[in-house]
C-alpha cells in the first residue's frame, strides 16, 4: 500500500514524486498528482501497464486511462464527485463518440467541465486524460481502501 505523503512547508502534497515508469521503462520526472488548498491536479494518464501501452482500441484504452485517474484520486482521498475539470487528448477525432460513452460510465452522475482536443500523443496511445479536483475544507475525504 502507498504511504500518504506529507505536505511541504508551502502546504503542497505531491503524490508519486519518485516518478512512475513510462514507455520502455523510462523514469517519468513528475508527480502523479499535486494537492494544494483543497485542489488536486492529476497528471495526464495514458493507458499503460508495466510501462507499455495496453492493446485494444479506443474503448479499452479509455477505460484504462480513466481508471488510472480514478486510482490516483482515491490515493489522495478524492473521488469522481470531486472532479471539476478533465482534459482529454484523442489521437483520432473519430474516437470522440466512443470516448464519450466510456467517460459517461465514470462521470455520468457528476459530470465535470471538460476540454477534448485531437492531438498527436508522445506515446503510442489513443487517449490521455488529466483532471483537476476540489474538496472543500469541510468535506470528508473519500474513504481509501
pLDDT at res. 94: 98
**Cα distance between residue 4 and residue 2, in whole Å:** 6
Tens of pLDDT along the chain (145 residues)?
456 788 888 888 888 876 555 555 566 678 889 999 999 999 999 999 988 999 999 999 999 999 999 999 999 999 999 999 999 999 999 999 999 999 999 999 889 999 999 999 988 899 999 999 999 876 666 665 5
Residue 17 lies in a domain: no
Q: What is the CATH number of the domain that holds 63?
A: 3.30.1330.40
pLDDT at res. 24: 56
Residue 108's domain comprises: 32-134
8 Å CB contact between 31 and 17: yes
Q: How many separate domains does the chain show?
A: 1
Amino acid at each position: 500500500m502507498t504511504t500518504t505523503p506529507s505536505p511541504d512547508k508551502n502546504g503542497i502534497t505531491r503524490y508519486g514524486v519518485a516518478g512512475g515508469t513510462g514507455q520502455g521503462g523510462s523514469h517519468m520526472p513528475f508527480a502523479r498528482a499535486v494537492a494544494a488548498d483543497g485542489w488536486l491536479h492529476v497528471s495526464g494518464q495514458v493507458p499503460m501497464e508495466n510501462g507499455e501501452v495496453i492493446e485494444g482500441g479506443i474503448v479499452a484504452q479509455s477505460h484504462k486511462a480513466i481508471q488510472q485517474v480514478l486510482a490516483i484520486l482515491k490515493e489522495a482521498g478524492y473521488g469522481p464527485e470531486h472532479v471539476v475539470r478533465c482534459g482529454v487528448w484523442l489521437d483520432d477525432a473519430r474516437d470522440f463518440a466512443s470516448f464519450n460513452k466510456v467517460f459517461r460510465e465514470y462521470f455520468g452522475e457528476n459530470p465535470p467541465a471538460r476540454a477534448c482536443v485531437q492531438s498527436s500523443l508522445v506515446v503510442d496511445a489513443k487517449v490521455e486524460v488529466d483532471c483537476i479536483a476540489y474538496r472543500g475544507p469541510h468535506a470528508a475525504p473519500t474513504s481509501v481502501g
